[in-house]
């Protein structure tokens, strides 16, 4: 089973920044669209952002638009989520997911979990003073 590895989470004060990374464990992200999701305690999973391969198309959720940005380094096989101006409501476990079949939009932040070929274990982001 393919596995992704996220890193970069942590505790940050409101207004601060973090950069999350997502890499394949034992496989490359070539030809995979990659998405970031998050889930806060007691809440449903929320799609945050996605990026197609090789990176021409991206999507971003309205709740983070203007603050978060997704990018990918196809040489080093890493997808990043840059998070700026963090707010307490951004506190959640952040997951990355990869699929070679993202549908018609080149990438999506609204796919069922089973549509992805790989998921990560998640990285905790806590925004608090």
Give the mean pLDDT per block of 10 residues along the chain (129 residues).
95 98 95 97 96 96 98 97 98 97 87 93 97
* pLDDT for 103: 82
Residues 51, 34: contact at Cβ < 8 Å? Answer: yes
* pLDDT for 1: 83
Q: Which residues pair with 95 in a beta bridge?
A: 37
* pLDDT for 94: 98
Question: CA–CA separation, 122 vs 88, rounded Å?
Answer: 18
**Contacts for 7 with CB less than 8 Å, ≥ 6 apart:** 20, 21, 23, 123
What's the gap between Cα 22 and its chain centre? 7
């Amino acid at each position: 089973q393919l596995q992704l590895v996220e890193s970069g989470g942590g505790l940050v004060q409101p207004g601060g920044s973090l950069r999350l990374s997502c890499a394949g464990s034992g496989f490359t992200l070539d030809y995979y669209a990659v998405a970031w999701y998050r889930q806060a305690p007691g809440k449903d999973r929320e799609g945050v952002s996605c990026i197609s391969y090789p990176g021409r198309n991206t999507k971003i959720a309205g709740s983070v638009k203007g603050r978060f940005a997704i990018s990918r380094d196809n040489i080093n096989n890493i997808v990043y989520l840059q998070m700026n101006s963090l707010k307490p409501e951004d506190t959640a476990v952040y997951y990355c997911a990869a699929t070679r079949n993202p549908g018609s939009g080149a990438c999506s932040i609204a796919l069922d979990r089973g549509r992805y070929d790989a998921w990560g274990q998640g990285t905790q982001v806590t925004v608090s003073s």
